[in-house]
Chain A
Amino acid sequence: MPSLWQGYYLDGHTAIRHPVTIQFATTALHIVKADGNTIDWPYGKITQTQGAYEGEQIRLEYGGPLPQTVIVEDLAFLTALQQAAASNAAHFHNPQQRPLRLRLTILAGIALLGVTACFYVWGIPGLATFLAPRIPVSWEEQLGASVLAQLAPSDTRCVDLNRFPALETVVARLSRAMPDSPYRIQLTVVDNPVMNAFALPGGQVVVFRGLLEATETSEQLAGVLAHELQHIYKQHPTRAIIEQASTSLLIAAVSGDFTGALAYGIEGARLLGVLRYSRLHEDEADREGLRLLQAVGIDPAEMIAFYRIMEAQHPHEAVTPSSLSTHPDTNERIETLIALAGPPPPHPVKLFSQEAWKDLRSLCRRPVAATSQIPTDTAP
């Protein structure tokens, strides 16, 4: 190994490159300029800023804030520096450790996969579980009200003063079974043929005319409402906001950037990511909704019967894998509910007679109309 190294020196004041010869003294780097002037840099005070990766020159800096610099092309210089500086060389890159660094990087990649999976499976839902109950109910109510005003403007709502209060009694009956809940449930029926219902943060439940008219009995509507009410009690809409934001952050952290072309890739990953949370919420709302029905004495078979109506009118696309859907497969949901329902109650509660219900469910129409409507959207 040579004892003299060629490089060049920058003084930090001008852009002139000074060719220099570098030698290793016992305690310092000995730099000799072309004009014979010499400079000594004690090893402990030198910083190496480049040369740790392939393709880089070796760049050593000394002093500051505008440091003097020595640049050497030959990578063997670093090995020689390690030997010369010995005990003072820990802060210089050692090229012999590059294979070790490669192994550590691969290990970091594996660890990253594990950590990302842990965050996704436990961390993010855990964060939502921790944060959601700590958000003031008044905030959720405000948010729910402002979303409701946009999604269901007041001129689209069905408010028949004779029939609407009767529908509200169904909600009241269910919510009485949860006396400790801080939420006041408010029902809105929207004049729209879509067969759907949804819950908003803070206690808003929206049912579309299409769904209401597709129910055969008041207990079937109670089944739908029990599911939506559990979304509210379990704070699913609020948790969904937290989960979506955290998933975006996690994906941005993994992919390194939010901008430009990346945004498209990230959006795809984010959607795939949050769909799983959405299906988990639906499962929970089904299970807890069924328990709520049982608590008020309604036969869960009514809820299951309505799911069958939905499945018949809006069959689950066979080509769509359930991992690409916001909702679990309806047939799977029905099977789970049947297993959970157990034997029917000996004296099931009947909320309204068949005749009374036919009138009530036509809330959005003046004359009593035919019940069948073409469904156009997803199930509750």
Chain B
Amino acid sequence: MSALSAVVADSATITRRNLIKVKRVPDLIVFATLSPIMFVLLFRYVFGGAIEVPGDVSYAEFLLPGIFAQTIVLGSTTTGASLAEDLQKGLIDRFRSLPMSRSAVLIGRTVADLGLNAISIFVMALTGLAVGWRINSSVPEAIGGFLVLLVFAYAISWLMAVVGLLVRTPEVVNNASFIVIFPLTFVANTFVPLESFPPVLQTFAEWNPVSAVVQAARDLFGNTVAGAPPPDAWSLQNPVAYTLLWTVGFLAVFVPLAVRLYSRTSTR
């Protein structure tokens, strides 16, 4: 078996194993989809009346791409917590003693989490459509919007893999991720327009990759309106390019780092 087909075969085996868990513990998927639904409804109806959005676009249309981005970035933390759990239970030791590819456990994990994220976007999109969100662009553009979101989330998964292998306790991984993920997803154009931020935060938010992802999704779903003032920062004028830059950068750094950590890590 060639090296590449071995990686593919082993990763597929691990992905299947991770998805069986989702099947056996349906609560996982129920809560993974309930919380985004809750967010959609909360922001749409509690804050929706108070938040002014630029141009002639409804808050639901403005909000949904933001919720998509926040939810999948949060969803990516599963990668870290699950790897930490596997470490704790001695499963990583078992895998490391097998003649399998050194990257397969990580690829299988991130791919399974990508699948979970895809499911949760699908559920959120349906909820969004029910509360007034619309796709005003073409089909290829809309597909592009979902892809940009998922590709970015996949890169975050690898960052979380590194966190999980370093931190090693699932609960701590979750708490640690929240501290990073909440500011990243709130100090952004996710829920409110950037113009409402104080200047320092505004600069941070403009260059925050989460803002670019959200902006890219809004552009591609046609949720930005011609009447709105154009963004000042290059990052938001070229959100797809800027998002992909971050994605490639994350993968270039965290894939090799995670594989290296995996090869050396050991529990018990």
A and B associate: no
